[in-house]
């Protein structure tokens, strides 16, 4: 199963959903596909979809999927990395009216350069190839900094009061 998520941003991400739907329609994708479409206005014809899924269902879909494709919001793709998988990340772009600026594009390419376990796809025509390559998913290790972040925040706050 392939799972696609575009998060909760208010602009549509039709470019990604349409491409996946086409690949499925042309049988270039043979797996089942489930897409969380968010505020997108293009409705898939060949894939299962839902506007939003609960956090629990999201975790389950990520666990079950052999390939996970997300938009460039870190809350979407870090959950995939946390589960030891490498997400294919397609950044939203301003020129397609998918976001207010291009920060997803610069951020995702920067992260990839720094060795972060993501596969950034900036040209939608490369998606097909990225999906095929991702079938032999290598497991990634993720060390959460969350506890340390919270402890340091608590210490800094003590100095404020």
Least distance in Å: CB of 149 to another protein?
5
Give yes or no for residue 154 binding another protein (CB under 8 A): yes
Residue among 30, 41, 54, 138 that touches another protein (CB under 8 A): 54
Q: What is the CA radius of gyration of the chain?
A: 17
Nearer CB in complex with another protein: 39/42: 39
Structure tokens at 21: 């739907």
Structure tokens at 54: 């609960």
| DSSP 8-state assignment for residue 8 | T
Stretch that binds another protein, among 20-28, 66-74, 122-130, 133-141 (CB under 8 A): 66-74
Contact call for residues 16 and 4 (beta carbons, < 8 A): yes
| DSSP 8-state assignment for residue 27 | T
Stretch that binds another protein, among 5-13, 27-35, 42-50, 122-130 (CB under 8 A): 5-13
Contact call for residues 43 and 58 (beta carbons, < 8 A): no
Residues 80 to 139 in contact with another protein, rule: CB under 8 A = 82, 100, 103-104, 106-107, 110-111
Contact call for residues 24 and 46 (beta carbons, < 8 A): yes
List residues near another protein by CB under 8 A: 7-10, 52, 54-55, 72-76, 78, 82, 100, 103-104, 106-107, 110-111, 144-154, 156-157, 160-161
């Amino acid at each position: 199963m392939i799972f696609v998520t575009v998060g909760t941003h208010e602009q549509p991400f039709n470019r990604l959903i349409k491409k996946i739907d086409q690949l499925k329609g042309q049988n270039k994708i043979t797996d089942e596909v489930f897409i969380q479409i968010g505020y997108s206005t293009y409705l898939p014809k060949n894939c299962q979809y839902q506007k939003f899924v609960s956090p629990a269902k999201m975790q389950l879909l990520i666990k079950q999927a052999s390939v996970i494709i997300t938009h460039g919001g870190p809350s979407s793709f870090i959950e995939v990395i946390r589960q030891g998988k490498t997400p294919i990340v397609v950044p939203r772009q301003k020129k397609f009216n998918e976001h207010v600026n291009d920060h997803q594009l610069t951020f995702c390419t920067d992260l990839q350069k720094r060795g972060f376990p993501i596969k950034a796809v900036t040209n939608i025509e490369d998606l097909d190839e990225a999906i095929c390559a991702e079938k032999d998913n290598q497991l990634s290790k993720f060390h959460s900094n969350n506890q340390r972040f919270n402890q340091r925040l608590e210490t800094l706050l003590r100095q404020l009061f």
